[in-house]
Structure 1
Amino acid sequence: MGRITSPQYRKAFILVTTLFFMWGLSYGLIDVLNKHFQETLSVSKAQSGLIQAAYFGAYFVIAIPAGLFMEWKGYKAGILSGLSLYALGALLFVPAASAASFHFFLFALFVIALGLGCLETAANSYSSALGSSDTAETRLNLSQSFNGLGQFTGPLLGGLLFFGGGGDGDLEAVRWTYVGIACVVIVLAILFAVVDLPDLRSHEEAQAG
């Protein structure tokens, strides 16, 4: 770890790397949710395409505003905003499950993806900046490997929780899975809020110059 980042940045780098896992996990759950909604909400395959549209449409909407916001307020503010939206979207699965509304679930996924768009915008740049420019690519590759781990874990977790009973299940499993995710995200937000994260915007500008 010492060769990848400086000791004063180590804690920040570890925290930022957890974000890569969390948005990989969220994406990994999408296909499992798609199948689950087809079975529990009688959603057609054509309608289920709206899940991808809502998810990636949010990335398109948030990308530029998130970048501008972080130029103004810094990476920490961007990460906290992204985690807040992620947790809010996950908690919206509670009323969506109660209403058994596919469109409500789409809205919840849209809010989650808004948060993930903020996190990706912040974490990719921040991970690269947390140390020497000579090891920036190594840091980013290491962080991104946890994104792949999250994408691998998501379908396994979703299959176990949504279909683990052997039948089609119901929306309760979806509800409580996302409540659990929201709790983890809230804990991460608290950690990011209390940890002193270096503001590296001036450092990046100097390197770019």
Structure 2
Amino acid sequence: MNHNTQPEIIAEGEPSSGKKYLLPFILVVSLFFLWGMAHNLDSILIPHLKKACNLSNSQSTLIDTSVFLAYFLMAIPAGVLLKRFGYKSTMITGLLAFAFGAFLFVPAANNLSYITFLIALFIIGCGLTLLETSSNPYAAILGSPDKAAWRLNLAATFNGLAAPLATIVGRFILSGKSHTKEELAAMTETVRDNYFLTEASTVKTPYIILGTVLVLVALLFYFMKLPEVKTASKDGVSEGSFMGALKHKHLRWAVIAQFFYVGAQVCVTSFFIRAAQQAGGFDEYTALYYLGLYGTLFLAGRFVGTALLRYIASNKLLSIYAVISVLLSLVAIFGDGVIVVYALGGLGFFMSIMFPTIFALGIDGIGDDTKPGSSWLIMSIVGGAILPYSMGTLIDIYGDNIQIGYSIPLVCYLIILFFGLRGYKIAHNNLK
């Protein structure tokens, strides 16, 4: 393989122009926002469906498992679809799958079927996989290579914008009502069933609206002409391959780092509301407010991080943020009272640049292997399916102690720190 190959933008034979790619970039940025909304709503669904479906902590994290398992199972098909049909078709397919999963929330709520909710979330996860497999490399490649990390962080800023906005939607999902096991046991079966159905029904309107917006965006993409990005070696033959991409040592480390990053982020947000209730003594709506604070800090972190990346090497900034995240995790584990909630909110700021930065460092310099490399990095999102379930199990083992569960994100940040210090380096011999 010729390692000097560079991605080439093919736009119907017209000369390249930065202005010509502005609208396509804006459209892709909208996708970052939409999948950000999906993931941030999951953080609200976990405590909500835990109530509505009367679940344990570990059972409630199957919401994360359903979404992120789809990333793992769909990453290879998504890569094949991307390679065969290109970015635009993959994005449209992802939007429609996302919409179908959102509409399935209606029968799931009507029948109070947790299994149907999980199936709907798995389908949403499949749609998100298609969107992320196509949109992340597209945003990275749509411009000069030296600005790839900056462009990804800029696009991901709008992914972060979904975090605080999702908490506004959460006000229409959460009821603010909860009952202890003793109170539920004292209810008649009819009263109890009505309570569960009422709780579940609040998800219908938000997800119907979300599904409708997704269909409209898919139509917009269908009628919009987007430049296609192709990779080719000097002799004009593309040589990228799925397994062959792993010969790049830094890509292998990026896949590992991304696995633990996604797992850490999902762990933090999945139990945020319950941690705020338990450690901070807040009610459900106040806990949701602090989740909104987390989202606001995540968004601010994206803006600040994107600005800092103009002056600080991406691997160095990643390492600094990882160190601070380790310290905040220690506060979350061993702290007491509202300081725990502030520490978790602070994690939002310092996790903000991790995904796009790891992604950009992972595909840096891999030329023809950019598309399959992107698939590997999307597959690594399966960390969001595995680690939250482990955290929920740990919490259950320790008698519903939410704080001890944050030991798992702590370990994740240490692994990310190693990637930022050493793992990101491009080996001269990628077969090492």
Q: Which amino acid aligns with 1:157?
A: I
> Which residue of 144, 167, 182 corresponds with 2:177?
167
**TM-score, normalization by structure 1:** 0.90
Distance 1:203 1:144 in 2: 27
Superposition pairs of residues 91-170 of structure 1, within 5 angstroms:
91-154=103-166, 156-163=167-174, 166-167=176-177, 170=199
Mean Cα deviation higher: 195-204 or 143-152: 195-204
Kindly provide the CA deviation profile for residues 69-107 of structure 1, in whole angstroms up to 9, marking residues without a partner as x. 111100001101110110000011111111110010000
1:139 Cα shift? 1.3
> Which residue of 27, 37, 40 corresponds with 2:49?
37
Q: Which amino acid aligns with 1:11?
A: L
Mean Cα deviation higher: 88-97 or 41-50: 41-50
Distance 1:160 1:117 in 2: 27
Mean Cα deviation higher: 25-34 or 101-110: 25-34
> Which residue of 181, 187, 193 corresponds with 2:216?
187
Q: What are structure 2's unaligned runs of at least 5 residues?
A: 1-16, 179-197, 239-364, 369-432
Q: Look up the match of 1:6.
A: 18
1:53 Cα shift? 1.1
Q: Look up the match of 2:418.
A: none
Runs of at least 4 residues off by over 6 Å = none
1:180 Cα shift? 0.7
Distance 1:45 1:133 in 2: 44
Whether contact under 8 Å (1:70, 1:122) holds in the other structure is: yes
1:109 Cα shift? 0.3
Larger radius of gyration: 2
- Secondary structure at 1:131 match in 2: coil
- Secondary structure at 1:29 match in 2: helix
Distance 1:190 1:26 in 2: 19
Q: Which amino acid aligns with 1:59?
A: Y
- Secondary structure at 1:201 match in 2: strand
Distance 1:41 1:158, change over 3 A: farther
Whether contact under 8 Å (1:25, 1:152) holds in the other structure is: no
Kindly provide the CA deviation profile for residues 33-65 of structure 1, in whole angstroms up to 9, marking residues without a partner as x. 111111112122221121111111001011111
Distance 2:176 2:72 in 1: 37
User: Is residue 2:207 matched to residue 1:178?
Assistant: yes
Distance 1:182 1:203 in 2: 37
Q: Which amino acid aligns with 1:160?
A: R
Distance 1:121 1:142 in 2: 17
Q: Look up the match of 1:48.
A: 60
Whether contact under 8 Å (1:81, 1:118) holds in the other structure is: yes
> Which residue of 195, 200, 204 corresponds with 2:229?
200
Mean Cα deviation higher: 44-53 or 168-177: 168-177
**TM-score, normalization by structure 2:** 0.45
Distance 1:62 1:7 in 2: 34
Q: Look up the match of 1:21.
A: 33
Q: How many percent of aligned residue pairs carry the same amino acid?
A: 39
- Secondary structure at 1:197 match in 2: coil
- Secondary structure at 1:20 match in 2: helix
Q: What are structure 1's unaligned runs of at least 5 residues?
A: none
Distance 1:123 1:182 in 2: 19
